[in-house]
Structure 1
Amino acid sequence: MNTYYVTRIEEPDFGCEGCPEGQEIKDKVFLKQETTKEEMIIYMEDKLLYDRNVDEGTKVIIDEDGRLQKAEEQ
């Protein structure tokens, strides 16, 4: 299974109006593959990143749902 490092997370800017009511907020997450150093970008729900304790510098995998999951340290 491929592992990645989160190099940057960009949160959407809704300006002074704030986030529209009921809208799901997705952050832009920049990843670098651990061995090949290939870079990619995915979008993931802000709340899920927080719930899974994923932040910049975190080692992650992409789960079967296409979402980031913190990699188990061995």
Structure 2
Amino acid sequence: MNPILALLKENNISDTQINEIFEVLTQNPLAAMATISQLGLPQDKLQLLMGQVMQNPMLIKEAVEELGLDFAKVEAAKEQLQK
């Protein structure tokens, strides 16, 4: 299992919430980060999660694919942020 998904699941984040996070991520990565920070994760877990996301963006792609979402939307959102 993807380490981002595993971390969320081990902290009792529901599949519905996880799907919502990654849907938001495909549309607006900054909003997704705000959503993640509001999940009530312990600070050390939150820092670990954010570090994984920032250091290894491929984990996001893997998680999106594992959830069956469209990674092309993630790429489009990333391009918008770079403009």
**TM-score of the aligned structures, taking structure 2 as reference length:** 0.24
Higher relative contact order (CA 8 A, sep 6+): 2
Report which of the two has the higher share of helix: 2
Report which of the two has the higher share of strand: 1
Larger Rg: 1
**TM-score of the aligned structures, taking structure 1 as reference length:** 0.26
